[in-house]
A and B are shown apart, each in its own frame.
Chain A
Amino acid sequence: MNTQQTAQLKSSANGFARRRSERESGMRLENKHQSGKLNQNRSMNAKSPSRDRLVYLSTCLIGHPVEVRLKNGSIYSGTCHTTNVEQEFAIILKMARMTKDASYRGSKQEYVMKAPSKTLIIPGKEVAEVIAKDVPVTVAGQSNELQNERHEDILIDSSISHSRHVELDRELSPWVPDEDDPQCPGLENIFDGPWNRGWDQFETNKMLFGVKSTFDEELYTTRLEKGPRMRELEREATRIAREIEGEDTEDLHLAEERGINLGEDFDGDEEVRFSSVIRGRGLDDSGYDEDEDILLDKRNTETFGDVPASSGAKTDHLHRGTSNDSAGALLTSSVDEPQCSQSSNGSEFFQSNTYDHCRQQADDLPCKSSTSDCNGRSLYGNPEILRVAQGHDSINASIETKTVAVDGKLSKSNESQSAENSQTAGFDRGGLLADAPSVTSSVKEMPPTEPEVVYVKADGESSGVSACRQPGTFASGSDHAGATSASSHPAVSPSSSLIGSSSSENSTLNPHAKEFKFNPNAKSFTPSHSSPVRPPSPVSDGSYYFTPNVTTLPQMHGMPVGIGMGPSYSGHQHVLFNPQVAPLRSPQPYFHPSGPQYGQQMNLGHPRQVLYMPGYQPVSSSQHL
């Protein structure tokens, strides 16, 4: 073609402006270059929609790789630059290569590559066919294409693997699974409801490989006994949990966790808000300040109902620590469950489990039952307890302080006493025996109250129990004391009440406190499986100790052994008890304060912190220290 024709070709191609506005397919332009302007082309040919379409489609080819088949069979590949429909579909290709040379008859190997032509003009007469693949015909296709092209500059994986440059050994096509065959279930299916899959891995394994499994889920978890009380317990637990989680807190991070909005103008960057540890709440890290005390008190009040005035008085007594009543009072005191547990509001600092348990117990148990329990407990292991109690050495300050509280309690009415007892019981759980008679009796009857409980109440007022100020430390102290005391630690046994109020010799606070004597031979207690189910009592963590010569109780076999803080089961009673208590074969009636697992009211040896769930097998049967 001559240049003029070329020019015409170009211009005519560029004249294909917006189709909508294009009225005719006429090509004869007077050198109109691509400007996006509409061109009113005068066409030699009649307007026809078919011609329009043709023009439109051929315009779509611009910039697109096409393959032109010539009349003689040769094939050229290149980028379409323009087409001229008028001229029998002449076409100009840029960077064209002859991909098949019709005139060449030699073998493939000898075919010599030629450089691509920058511009290849193919006259229309030669053109037999033009083939283009993946031509964007509509708008949607066009916009995508440009983006795709841009992305190709970035060399995405698929473009690399597509590997235009290299001959492919075989045509690659994406894999599709043959129908959904059971061999390869869809991924979505596999993880739907793993519990409902209907597939037992052990069965499968056994079938395939003959491997018999000895897996028993209950070895690794504690069994939830869905008794009739379960719903109640659950409900209560969730309520408490919600309450806890919803309450206000000063702690930034806690607040954030609970969704408490800090306010727009909170001063602090991300680190302060989400990450850093907040310090400086006082010298002591346990951070149990007055606000929390009040908060806890309030919470307890809400949870457990108002404490009768007497308990308030009891508190006073605690502080004063004056009277040192004997266990007798304790014995007769009816355990007031709510009160008992109420005192356990220090759990937050001690062990939350205990606290929860206390609360739970308090909620669950009717006073009466607890009373009976307490009373029953009081009978437990009296002789041993007595002995042990008497063998006590002087106890550390914390114990003494606790005793003070106990004493104070004892001097009060039954109710208050019971409350105090509970407190002391909680204290005792820590493994410390304060005042032998009073403590033991109280412990016997008491729900697992936290030592902090005592202090919580006391904190509000100045108390001689300075040591109590730090519940955390107290707890640790008590634990420590408990540890050292080991088995020989005189168990605060129910029978302590029988001991009568013995004068405390060692503590200025509690005249009745017994010396704490370490008993290395104390055995650990393991409650028996067959213990009758008793309603969970709040006195789960009373520390009872008795001398080793009382009984050597066989270890319970098959019971999961675990020491230490187990996982806390939300909403359930968490009872801290001393696992070292072996099941008693002693003649004394073995009293399980609450359910079989609460048999550990009898603690032999070192009191360990173990979590108990009501209705669960006791977690520990560890040997004493």
Chain B
Amino acid sequence: MEGSISNSGSNEDFAVGCMLSIKTTLGDEFDGQVITFDRPSNILVLQEGSKPGPRRNIRFLKTNYIKEFSFLGQSEDPLDIKKCYIDLQSLQDREELALRQAEADAERIGVGVTTEAQGIFDALSKTLPVRWDKTSIVVMNEVRVSSPYLPENVIGGTPAANDRVKKVLELERRRLQTRP
């Protein structure tokens, strides 16, 4: 393939520090700087973005999925070896934290509900305490909003709460419609 890299391909193309513009077979297009290229596994690690801070956007790309690429320029090694070491413990902590966060997030996601429903749930959650009960949204532990999540479907709770939920629901729906 034109521009594709084979195992025996030129090393120089993927020298560390190269700026490349790449198109992938998945339809991605991006520019990045080569951090490393591991030939045995064909994995190219690129760094996106130019900010030199400690945090970078990184892509691990298998070279077989590169549709085409072009060489933009050569720059210096983006990775400072001397500063690279890992604290395993902190990694684990980070992972735990992320998992906790993800689990909390998972609570907010309704299983088997449409994205529209999820959108409504998210919108309601901005101002009201909501949770999922199967496919129904339970607001303030009193009011239920079941599929298809129209103002008519608001059931339960005190009249005041009910009205309030209805109103918020209407507004949110309207807002969701105006947005693409």
Contact = CB atoms under 8 A, between A and B. Distances in A.
Interface of A: 14, 16-20, 34, 36, 45-46, 48-51, 53-54, 56-65, 69, 71, 73, 78-79, 81, 85-86, 88-89, 94-95, 97, 108-116, 127-146, 149-150, 152, 164-167, 169
Given A34-B88, A57-B58, A81 B36 contact: no
A193 to B, nearest CB: 37
A110 B147 CA distance: 13
Interface of B: 16, 24-28, 35-41, 43, 45, 53-62, 65, 79-80, 83-99, 101-103, 105-106, 108-119, 122-123, 125-126, 179
Interface centre among B85, B89, B108, B112 (most CB of A within 10 A): B85
A89 B98 contact: no
B106 A95 contact: yes
A140 B55 CA distance: 9
Contacts of A140: 54, 83
B88 A149 contact: no
Main secondary structure of the interface of B (DSSP, over half): mixed
B57 A86 contact: no
Given A36-B89, A167-B179, 11 more contacts: A51-B40, A54-B45, A63-B93, A73-B27, A128-B61, A129-B65, A131-B58, A135-B58, A138-B80, A139-B83, A166-B123
A502 B180 CA distance: 106
Contacts of B105: 95, 164-165
A57 B45 contact: yes
A63 B90 CA distance: 9
A26 B39 CA distance: 15
A141 B54 contact: yes
B41 A89 contact: yes
A149 B55 CA distance: 14
A73 B27 CA distance: 9
B110 A113 contact: yes
Closest A-B pairs by Cβ, 8 of them: A141-B54, A63-B95, A95-B102, A63-B94, A53-B36, A130-B60, A138-B83, A140-B54
A115 B84 contact: no
Nearest to A36: B88
Contacts of A169: 179
Contacts of B40: 45-46, 51
B56 A129 contact: no
A95 B99 contact: yes
Contacts of B38: 48, 50-51, 53-54, 85
Contact of A129 (B59, B86, B122): B59
Contacts of B61: 128-129
Interface centre among B89, B102, B112, B113 (most CB of A within 10 A): B102
Interface centre among B37, B80, B98, B113 (most CB of A within 10 A): B98
Nearest to B59: A131
B135 to A, nearest CB: 10
30 contacts: A14-B88, A18-B86, A49-B36, A50-B16, A53-B38, A53-B79, A62-B91, A63-B98, A64-B98, A79-B98, A79-B102, A89-B62, A95-B102, A95-B106, A108-B115, A113-B118, A114-B111, A115-B109, A129-B26, A131-B58, A131-B59, A133-B57, A135-B57, A137-B79, A138-B54, A139-B54, A140-B83, A141-B55, A149-B94, A149-B97
Contacts of A17: 86, 88
Contacts of B99: 79, 94-95
A45 B41 CA distance: 10
Given A113-B110, A129-B62, A137-B56, A56 B24 contact: no
A113 B87 contact: no
A85 B36 contact: no
A129 B57 CA distance: 13
A134 B88 CA distance: 18
A89 B60 contact: yes
Interface centre among B36, B62, B83, B91 (most CB of A within 10 A): B91
B84 A137 contact: yes
Contacts of B54: 136-142, 144
B53 A141 contact: yes
A113 B109 contact: yes
Contacts of A64: 94, 98
A114 B91 CA distance: 28
Given A128-B26, A141-B54, A165-B122, A60 B36 contact: no
A143 B61 CA distance: 27
A14 B126 CA distance: 39
Given A54-B38, A113-B114, A85 B43 contact: yes
Contacts of A65: 98
A369 B89 CA distance: 89
Contacts of A130: 59-60
Contacts of B83: 138-140
A88 B90 CA distance: 26
Contact of B36 (A50, A150, A165): A50
A109 B122 contact: no
A581 B86 CA distance: 89
Interface centre among B56, B79, B110, B111 (most CB of A within 10 A): B56
B173 to A, nearest CB: 13
Interface centre among B89, B101, B103 (most CB of A within 10 A): B101
Given A89-B62, A110-B114, A140-B83, A116 B106 contact: yes
Given A63-B91, A89-B41, A146-B94, A129 B111 contact: no
A537 B114 CA distance: 95
Given A136-B54, A138-B54, A169-B179, A112 B113 contact: yes
A20 B88 CA distance: 13
A115 B106 CA distance: 7
Contacts of A144: 54
B55 to A, nearest CB: 4
B45 A116 contact: no
A127 B78 CA distance: 25
Contact of A134 (B55, B80, B89, B123): B55
A390 B44 CA distance: 114
A531 B11 CA distance: 100
Contacts of A149: 94, 97-98
B132 to A, nearest CB: 10
Given A63-B95, A136-B55, A167 B122 contact: yes
B150 to A, nearest CB: 14
Nearest to A80: B95
Nearest to B54: A141
B87 A134 contact: no
